[in-house]
Amino acid sequence: MVPIQLDQEQRHQVLRSVIGADGKEYSASRICRRLAGHLGVRTRIINAECSCGNISDIVNKSINPFISHLGLYVACARPARPFQNRFKQQTGECLWGFYSAAANDDHYDRLDDDINDLASKYPGLLAGERTVNDWERDLAGSLK
């Protein structure tokens, strides 16, 4: 899945869905405004520009439940190479963006289908009855 940019109508619908009944904008709407026109915003940028700390908590409680009816959600992804801080240490920063929730989206990765296939072939694996090593041995044996 890849992040998407929202068009003007989508942005309006998202903001209408997350702005509180009192009409005041809080961290949820500030995050949505920041992400709407960008394809991957670093954690520290959102923290600084939107004046919020725990982005995941805000997204899970104050954004995604209110925009799911639009077929959208906010999520993060790890960058290909970890970001470094000013001390050259790796950080846990992610890239945040809007994503389409449609299964027929061009970028849908069919992961759920793959997991369901594995579950039907190896029901004990997901139920915890067999170890991963047993499963790997079975797969290696089938490749010989």
Asked if 61 and 20 sit in the same domain, the reply is yes
Higher-scoring residue by pLDDT: 28, 126? 28
Asked if 58 and 82 sit in the same domain, the reply is yes
How many angstroms separate the CA atoms of 17 and 25, rounded? 11
Asked if 119 and 53 sit in the same domain, the reply is no
Asked if 13 and 56 sit in the same domain, the reply is yes
**Does residue 105 sit within a domain?**
no
How many angstroms separate the CA atoms of 71 and 122, rounded? 32
**Does residue 122 sit within a domain?**
yes
pLDDT at 138 over 90: no
Asked if 96 and 29 sit in the same domain, the reply is yes
Q: Take residue 104 and report the two structure tokens written for it.
A: 């027929």
Asked if 32 and 93 sit in the same domain, the reply is yes
- Domain span including residue 118: 111-143
DSSP collapsed to 3 states, 66-106: HHHHHCEEEEEECCCCCCECCCCCECCCCEEEEEECCCCCC
pLDDT at 54 over 90: yes
How many angstroms separate the CA atoms of 21 and 112, rounded? 36
Place of tokens 């394809």: 39
How many angstroms separate the CA atoms of 61 and 52, rounded? 14
Q: Which helix (H) or strand (E) holds 76?
A: strand 72-77
Count of Cβ atoms closer than 10 Å to residue 91 Cβ: 14
pTM as predicted: 0.69
**Mean pLDDT of the region 26-30:** 95
pLDDT at 70 over 90: yes
Look at residues 86, 77, 95, 87 and name the one whose alpha carbon lies nearest to residue 40. 95
Number of domains in the chain: 2
**Mean pLDDT of the region 3-22:** 93
pLDDT at 93 over 60: yes
Sorting pLDDT into bands at 50, 70 and 90, what band is 20? Answer: confident
Q: Take residue 144 and report the two structure tokens written for it.
A: 């010989």
Those residues with Cβ within 8 angstroms of residue 26's Cβ, 6 or more apart along the chain or in another chain: 20, 62
Asked if 12 and 43 sit in the same domain, the reply is yes
**Does residue 1 sit within a domain?**
no
Asked if 76 and 120 sit in the same domain, the reply is no
Asked if 22 and 85 sit in the same domain, the reply is yes
**Does residue 2 sit within a domain?**
no
Asked if 85 and 24 sit in the same domain, the reply is yes
